[in-house]
Structure 1
Amino acid sequence: MDRALRVGIIGGGFMGEAHARAARSAGAEVIGVLASSQESSQRAARSLGAEAFSSVAELAGAADVVHVCSPNGLHAEHVRAVIRAGKHVVCEKPLSTDHATADGLVREADEAGVVASVPFVYRFHPMVRQARHLVQQGEIGRLLTVQGQYLQDWMLDPSAWNWRVDPAESGASRAFGDIGSHLVDLLEFVAGERIRRLSAITSIAYPERDGHPVSTEDAAALTVEFTGGAIGSIMVSQVNAGRKNALTIELAGTANNIVFEQEKPDELWIGGESSTRVISRDATVLGDDAARLSAVPAGHPMGYVDAFAGFVRDTYAAIQGSAPEGLPRFADGARANQVIDAVLESARTRQWVDVGEAAVEPLAQSSSAPASPASVTRPATAKETA
């Protein structure tokens, strides 16, 4: 294709703006936007310097690729419309509100022959690729234990409310679906193994927000077993005071231990039995894939915006016929939904769940239901809200 890719954006909020910025960074032309109402579409169009569209069909007809950044409950509808128009698609995670629907979207995209990707953008930090490279090269030895956490505090205020709290719009999982999906994808991507089974417990900090009952979790804690036998723990919370985007992964093996912290994205900690060291991002000493994603010289910091841009560049390269390493496709998005379903099933039944065999019932019971050890619903204490 001799001309720039024409990009359409569905969604007029923060994520729509992030996608538009990354699209332009990759050399594409953002031609239009569709939001939840005509007024919202026009407002987003002014902000993005693009045209306001009135339907998905109209937008898909004008674009080469459409980025779906609408609320989770609308993802499947919007993705199907784009695929049926024969256009490439980028869909925010979670791909759908359940694994069965997500799996269907994978099949539809494959049958249509379109490029379909999911922005698990943390994969695109160069030091994440370096961690993966070290694991692949056997530098950590046989994987023994895995730890991961993703902590935020934006839901700590008991009055905090947006569409993500409403299961009709976001699905039955909130914190784990929103940020736990990123964390699990990152752990499995770096480890090169999948979670085989898990035991999960979830909690709700406030049974009511802004006059609405709450049934989606604020936090989740998991014990996991990987396919190679490693065991681990995962903590996800959106009510952890002072933590903004504290995503950390730690993989310990028989030889070495590696730690990546998303809030220190240019560093990778490596621990051995007799010494520890910190590797700083420098393309001259990194593996090929990590070096490829190092967009600026060593000493200039890279971060979330750069990782997002790397994801979009690789998606567009795939559209142009390349096969970039580590591009998260719809199958990866469906995998995240598979794990989310398993977390919800385990929290509901208080049992270990084999990932891939989870069967989630309709939306969780209201917060007035009796609490159990696996699904705790209670007001926060004064200490927790301090």
Structure 2
Amino acid sequence: MKRFALIGAAGYIAPRHMHAIKDTGNVLVSAYDINDSVGIIDSISPNSEFFTEFERFYDHAWRLKRDPATALDIVSVCSPNYLHYSHITAGLRLGCDVICEKPLVPSATILDELALVERETGKRLYNILQLRHHHAIIDLKQQVGAGKQSHKHEVELTYITSRGKWYMESWKGDPRKSFGVSTNIGVHFFDMLHFIFGALQRNVVHYVDDYKATGYLEYEHARVRWFLSIDANDLPDSVKGKKPTYRSITCDGAEIEFSEGFTDLHTVSYQAILDGKGYGVEDARHCVETVETIRTLASTPAQNGEDHPFLARLLG
């Protein structure tokens, strides 16, 4: 049984980590968040310690470290994106392996820093890249790998996850903290595309604002038109008013069904990590570099059929 701590216990994704810790037969020893809306802990790990000041959390973890019987084994990080680096390095320096939500960090340079701290501490960092464990994505990767066609696959990725007015008032609406919509809601999709279709060869942005972004990516084995949005007005008419989220991936015109099977992917990810099959710093590098480039690119007009169908709506 591994002893876990959780940083960012009041966040949206934290309950999935709590369940993953419990469902893999381990125990949540300590949790931290500046917010105290963490009552869900009572139904998952009622004996966990909880702190609202990082200094007290860290001091408690350090005291536990003195005795091998009580020392923490793994720190899970679910804090806001801009705090990941600091919380990851704190966990590593406590002598723990670390599991961190996406996006791991905003840039390749910071990835290099994390690799350095891993070497300094002798501990490992793992990134939750949950779509690599989705059965539909694994099946598509196998189909692409087995194919012998000379042309690249034509792929269309659309992800719209409606967010209310609270979003822009939170850290997620501040690009200095979330690193923008393409990073915050898109990084695991870009990892998925690399996982299936190979190395990225071309990256173009056609439109970006605080609520949505769209562009074109060309991989070894695919041409991808992508669209990401948190604006409910972008939902297709068939979904609007019925569901707050729309996700679609088509490959050569055929829809890839992956609307189900998302809820337990964190537990699957945790089990893979515990089995020594987790995804580390270098596995995350490709998607980190992809979103870093997207954030720095200027928008350019689409050409040669590289535009996502929703782009025309944005341009009027």
User: Is TM more than 0.5 here?
Assistant: yes
Aligned counterparts of 1:226 and 1:163: Cα–Cα separation in 2: 32
Name 1:281's counterpart in structure 2: none
Matched, 1:131 2:133: no
Give 1:9's match in structure 2, choosing from 1, 6, 9.
Answer: 6
Shift, 1:119, TM fit: 1.3
Give 1:312's match in structure 2, choosing from 266, 270, 281.
Answer: 270
Give 2:32's match in structure 1, choosing from 31, 34, 44.
Answer: 34
Contact 1:91 1:118 in 2 (8 A): yes
Where does the alignment leave 5 or more consecutive residues of structure 2 unmatched?
66-70, 303-312
Aligned counterparts of 2:133 and 2:257: Cα–Cα separation in 1: 13
Name 2:310's counterpart in structure 1: none
Query: Superposed, which structure 2 residues align to 1:137-176 within 5 Å?
Result: 137-138=146-147, 142-155=151-164, 157=165, 161-170=169-178, 173-176=179-182
Question: Aligned to 1:55, what secondary structure does the other structure show?
Answer: helix
Question: Aligned to 1:305, what secondary structure does the other structure show?
Answer: coil
Question: Aligned to 1:222, what secondary structure does the other structure show?
Answer: strand
Aligned counterparts of 1:11 and 1:158: Cα–Cα separation in 2: 18
Aligned counterparts of 1:29 and 1:127: Cα–Cα separation in 2: 31
Structure (1 or 2) with the greater helix fraction: 2
Tell me which amino acid in the other structure corresponds to 1:175: V
Aligned counterparts of 1:177 and 1:98: Cα–Cα separation in 2: 11
Aligned counterparts of 2:128 and 2:22: Cα–Cα separation in 1: 16
Name 1:251's counterpart in structure 2: 251
Question: Aligned to 2:228, what secondary structure does the other structure show?
Answer: strand
Query: Superposed, which structure 2 residues align to 1:191-210 within 5 Å?
Result: 191=197, 193-204=198-209
Contact 1:202 1:218 in 2 (8 A): no
Aligned counterparts of 1:178 and 1:140: Cα–Cα separation in 2: 34
Tell me which amino acid in the other structure corresponds to 1:7: F
- Would the alpha carbon gap of residues 351 and 6 (structure 1) be closer, same or farther in structure 2, given more than 3 Å must change? farther
Aligned counterparts of 1:58 and 1:136: Cα–Cα separation in 2: 49
Identical columns (%): 22
Name 1:182's counterpart in structure 2: 188
Tell me which amino acid in the other structure corresponds to 1:106: A
Matched, 1:93 2:99: no
Where does the alignment leave 5 or more consecutive residues of structure 1 unmatched?
205-216, 266-302, 319-323, 353-379
Aligned counterparts of 2:37 and 2:90: Cα–Cα separation in 1: 18
Aligned counterparts of 2:96 and 2:191: Cα–Cα separation in 1: 26
Shift, 1:33, TM fit: 0.4
Cα deviations by residue, 1:143-180 (Å, 9 ceiling, x for unpaired) = 3323222211114x48853221123432xx32111121
Name 2:223's counterpart in structure 1: 231
TM-score w.r.t. structure 1 length? Answer: 0.65
Contact 1:131 1:258 in 2 (8 A): no
Contact 1:140 1:258 in 2 (8 A): no
- Would the alpha carbon gap of residues 36 and 55 (structure 1) be closer, same or farther in structure 2, given more than 3 Å must change? same
Shift, 1:141, TM fit: 6.4
TM-score w.r.t. structure 2 length? Answer: 0.79
